[in-house]
Structure 1
Amino acid sequence: MNPLFEEDNSTRIVGKRYKLVNQLGVGGFGQSFLAQDLHLPGCPRCVVKRLLAKTHDPKHLKTARRLFDTEARVLYQLGKHDQIPTLYAHFEENQEFYLVQEFIEGEPLTWQIVKGKPWAEERVIALIYDILEIMAFVHQQNVIHRDIKPANLIRRQKDNRLVLIDFGAVKQVSLQMADPDSEIADSTIAVGTHGYISNEQLAGKPRFCSDVYAIGMVGIQALTGVLPKQLDEDAATGELDWRVHAPNVSPEFAEVLDHMVYYDFRDRFPTAVEALEALQNLPPRLLALVEASKAADADSAEQAKSMVLETDSTQREMGTTNLTGDMVATYPQAETLMYGEEISSVHAVDQKQGGQKSGWSMLKGQGFKWLEKFPGRGVALVSGLAIAGVAVLLNKPNLVQNPVQKPSEAPKVPSRSSLKGSVTPKPSVSPSTLPLSPEQKTATLLKEAERLRQQKQYQQALNHYKQVIQLQPNNAQAYWGQCESLNGLKQPDAAVVACNDALDLNPDYAEALWSKGKALRQQEQILEALRLFEEATVLKPDFAAAWLDWGSALQEVGRSVEAIDALDQAIALNRNSAEAWSIRGAALWNLGRFDQAISSLDKALQIQPNATNARALRQQAREELGY
């Protein structure tokens, strides 16, 4: 483990003011820490990054210092943008280089862009638009990011806006510091992430359009639910054959994406500015949906509603709209509409041609349908859903009459005058009495199965998973839940079968690989288990449990050095794992590093005082050192 972040790290202070609180990440380019600025009132949080250096030769340090200062000036300039973290300080200490940046509280897009769960087209357009707006500023500063990917895009908690982090230019400095004897010029160093890195950048010759390529790949991943590295190429053209995974994408947006990810950089948009202009020239019907999608990500329903709704006191009670032209009413959360049910788009109405068209809307799971003609009026869009003007319901279930109707029986749209003084009708059917749809029943059963499994009620959980599979035979999560429950019941043979079923449906299911590895380990097939644990961490690098089991299995076969590396990853992701600290202590003991072993075991006992194995091993280590 790096000496900068040993167990006494809570007292570690760098730059004479930044107290390191917790390790956020570690990689080939260095480490990042959550820290507190002790010189400011309230000791606000920040991020401290320590860049990797493998040499302390004065000549090489001089070169590294020059590169570091140059890139720090670039980051200071970029930090003037609200959606790029501010660089607070950069300094050198004990021949190590540090950056101090603004801490962004939020979720990385890796938590939101999930494999197998494609986004709606309008949401993807809004996402790419937001990223390109940031990158247009970056490119205008003559800077190439070099490492755009979901993990480097944070959805900021306070305002739901995207923030771009982790510029590859600093990684370039780290590479120079790590390999100071290299004669390769700065511009030829390849920085990036497989799947998002373009051909010319892989060859060490990044351009502005290399960032455009990466943004396009993020968009395709969100649109298709497929990881970039799993996309095939067209045998005839050599271009990515991504459209097969998004058959309903509009041809206009698909064309923009194609121009962002062409193999030859000369065919792409040269910078983010040109790509942004192409998005702005999409058909109005798409842009209207994008605006609705943006509003759907707003902080509150009132904030989104106030954008376009024009209501009087009666309309606010009834949730009606009186729109003209291309005006759009938007709401950020589907659950504000009807009984918390999810809402999906059925048909978006284009009112431009004479205003005589009609639109459908559907509240999924409850069977509510509305159809109405709007002579000369616009359409309300709710999270991309086309709704007749008065069908917008603000948590007012008692406003709904005849919840399940045929289109011909749809209610008439009342006029503004007829609403005044009217009495609110009561529903003829209570929402709680409506039958659950198969999808709702499956989701409810799966949620209960997960709860039972987490509470170690494995047999009951198995019964629920079985019901899910009867309703939905292709539910990989249910098969994995069966596997994990059977592991808990010490039935590894059956667990392997269940995990294989999950992997047949989803070969890259990291959790299923991990659970199968645990079953094989119970069967004493340790080498095969090791392979599966490692594969799970490759597919899901933030999978702390897989790192832990991989480290534990490595230690079991005597590969203590590798075990420590894996356990360090597990601890970086979950510092409160007594098991990880304890096994790490055992690995250090095997290597004769007794002082460090005692330190790790002390940490394990601090978290779990009743860890008898850790206590016994610590006592042996203390005796070995003559304590």
Structure 2
Amino acid sequence: MDSHFLDGHYRILKVLNDGEKGKTYLVEDANLAGSQFIVKQLSPRSSNPQSLTILRSLFASLAASLDKLGQEHDKIQKLIAYFEENEQFYIVQEFISGNPLTEEIIQGQPLREDQVITVLSEILEILVIVHSYGAIHRDIKPANIIRRESDKKLVLVNFGTFNEAITNIGDNIEYMPREQVNGNLKYNSDIYALGMVAIAALRGLPANEISNLRSQKNKLTGEIVWREKNIKVNKKLAKIINRMVRLDYRKRYQYATEVLDDLKKLTNVEQDQQKQDQKKLLLILAGVVGCITLGVGAWQLRLPKPVSDAQQKLYQEGVNKYQAGNYEGAVEDFNQVIKLDPQNALAYNRRGDAYYRLGDYEQAQADSSQAILLNPEDANAYFDRGFAFSELGKYKEAIADYTQAIKLNSKNAYAYYGRGLALAQLKNNKAAMGDFSKAIALKPQSTEAYLQRGILRRRLRQRLEAIQDFDTVIKINPSDARAYYQRGLTQSINQQKYVALKDYTDAININPKYIEAYLNRGDVYSDLGNQVEATEDYNTILKIDPKFIAAYIHRGIHRFSFGNYKGAIEDYTEALKLDTNNVVAYNNRGNAYLELGNKKAANQDYSRAIAINANNALAYYNRGVIRTKQKNKQGAIADFQKAAKLFKQRGEQDSYQDAQREIAILQNNSAPAPTTRPKSNNY
């Protein structure tokens, strides 16, 4: 391959793509030492002489247009040459050293809004030039947007013009709008594709996920539904993107300049704010002494030097409303303070705390970030943002913020506590234990740190030490229901069921709506054979919260254990009404159907559980039991083998041996009835 030359002087170094439309090569020009280019080979579908004559003329015209575009804009891949060889068409293009946008849009790692706006703006500026020359790119997708290594600018490559003209095959089905698929190409077809790129970036979706996204449409309008509850996007930016990807091209932006104008309006607000910030010389230095998650109500306030009496009054009213639990009112007051003084770092800090209480963790993080920007030495702003990051599941970012807070204030027990929580989420148990212990050393009355250290110790099977931590919490605060509940869980694991019952009861007496305490007390009652008491606990939960799925499943398990199979089926069915993909409910309902002799219904439930989760070992095992009863020997063996493999992977040795025993019986005998009962998901 290396010895082969195209057009007599382009030495092939590497085949980059070998597809239906043709091939793409990385080549070196033998006449220009060290120069590398991209060569695309396009294979016409017809070899008819008349068709080839037409294509040659079209090919030359398209090449001339692309050559002009490359000369006009340095962010458009340049055309170097074009030629025909053995009735194959070739274009030689500039090689852009850099990485495609596919390496920035990574699954589960959404880009920030400002990054997405930058991508949109850079590509739209290129499209303005492209469209002004009467050209349409036709193939905008992350793979065709390269971040140039030399200056980190985005470059648009691989125009689809040649592909569709020569091969009559369109590319980019995932990002392509309906009118383009139907052959009715418009200038704003490029705008649609770019809008889909923006959605992919905001969602953290790779190319293979875009097809699934396109199927998520509003039933009434047919428009793509891309904003999920856990995705916080500026409403104005979302509005722009929605208009870019409208299904009907007539309702879409018509020109790239229109999109650019709206994006500039969006960013101008932030730029004006920054200009105002730069005019201020004094930053407000203040700190939060208190822990959002710990519920410490008192703030040690260091008010900034008031610009006006009105500002000071508004600020204090916001603090008062926060302390009274009126978080919406507090946000409104802090909004007014910030409007009067956009550099009031403390107001951003306090408003972030209120947003945190309201569950708006994205906004809480944004406010803490602004407070840090205004005052980089504010340890509590890092601390607050750490908690916001933790709630958003960004534990590494949270740990970095807690660490910075500790650097700025090494005596902040709550920063160690928060970092311990984040470390525990990442399973860094040793470091988490050290942070909880440090928090306790700095603040010996810190019940939260004792509580979390106890939970971690139980996870590490240090149960006696865990109980000691819960005992300490109760000693410090005898009204902490959570400590009784956690101690009850630990005692239950230690098979100290009656002691556990007392702890759960104490937790319920302190908090009569403690659902988890009722649930676990009900389970202990059920294990002890106290049928009435267990049922009462499950019923109480459903009175408090009729949609608490676990209560139906646990009551179903309880009823099953006492032979009330019809009652169990009713409970599992209710759970499935609330969650149609609950594999535990399907598996356990299958067991109840089997006890009533309804093999068909049982088999359907086990199969449904497997369809939802192909790694559900219990469902395979139980379907193996059904197939054994149905004398489907090979099917039963296959299911037991799958179950055995999954049990072994999970380290469930007893269940693995059960499955192996069933396989041995089936292989050595003529499929007798299974020796073990179907298995239930305990909880």
TM normalised by structure 1 equals 0.48
Structure with larger RCO (C-alpha < 8 A, sep 6+): 1
Rg larger in structure: 2
Whose helix proportion is higher, 1 or 2?
2
